[in-house]
Structure 1
């Protein structure tokens, strides 16, 4: 299963006390492939550093970069589909370039994708993704 994780999903799942920690555990166990671009990785680092500290951000990024189920994707086209928050486009572009099965997010700006017939980007919320992971 090819997955793109929005930054807020990643930010909440790596803490062992988080209700979404199963996402991090499943990622570390190789239950899905994490698809990223260099732009996505840069945002992960920026936001994790801002919300926690640079040491934790470096540790999380190091763990991600050493995953055998990490797929580093090259974006060849900028789709510009999220007009309400263009900064979110990097996740959409990554999902399209990777042919990802799902983009996992709780961000309401991504809902516009449900109305766009092409290119298709399938969204999952954290709760639904967690239910899927529990069945693997």
Structure 2
């Protein structure tokens, strides 16, 4: 008897930068996210500030990507699957790391269903204004 597909309750997700970079560049658990967003199993919601951070981190020397490779990754593997979110306000001081606040602002502005993160500071919040903050593993369980 085959496994039953579970109905997915998380259709719109804010993905933190490390999750996106891991999904795009490495094998393992996060790479399944890349496959799922390309199949449109869920939609990534991201603000301009978040996309800029994705680009900035992909440009880290340790990844050894050329400008063209980064541009191709962003234009072919990411942007077609992102629902852009306009963020009008700023939030400061919710997370221990103020750089993480942008993910909370985006989730609130977009009314996202979930924030997916590997960041201990974000995960420690568990929820922000009704939006659960979960690990990649927990998010992926919804698709099995």
Task: Report the TM-score range of the alignment, normalised by the length of the smaller protein.
Answer: 0.7 to 0.9
1:56 corresponds to: 69
Q: Secondary structure at the match of 1:79?
A: coil
Can you give the 5+ residue segments of structure 2 that lack an aligned partner in the other structure? 1-10
Residues 58 and 123 of structure 1, relative CA distance in 2, 3 Å threshold:
same
Q: Which residue of structure 1 aligns with residue 55 of structure 2?
A: 45
CA distance in 1, matches of 2:105, 2:15: 12
**Counterparts of 2:127 and 2:38, CA distance in 1:** 33
Number of aligned residues: 130
Structure-to-structure mapping, 1:1-136, within 5 angstroms: 1-15=11-25, 17-50=27-60, 51-52=62-63, 53=65, 54-63=67-76, 64-67=78-81, 70-114=82-126, 119-134=129-144
Q: SS at the partner of 1:31?
A: coil
Q: How far apart are residue 16 of structure 1 and its match?
A: 6.1
CA RMSD of aligned residues (A): 1.9
Q: Is the 8 A contact 2:46 2:84 kept in 1?
A: yes
CA distance in 2, matches of 1:104, 1:86: 17
CA shift at 1:58, angstroms?
Answer: 1.5
Structure 1 CA distance for aligned equivalents of residues 35 and 95 of structure 2: 33
TM superposition score normalised by structure 2: 0.81
Alpha-carbon shift at residue 109 of structure 1 (Å): 1.0
In terms of Rg, which structure is larger? 2
3-state DSSP of counterpart to 2:68: helix
SS of corresponding position for 1:66: helix
Distance 2:86 2:114 in 1: 17
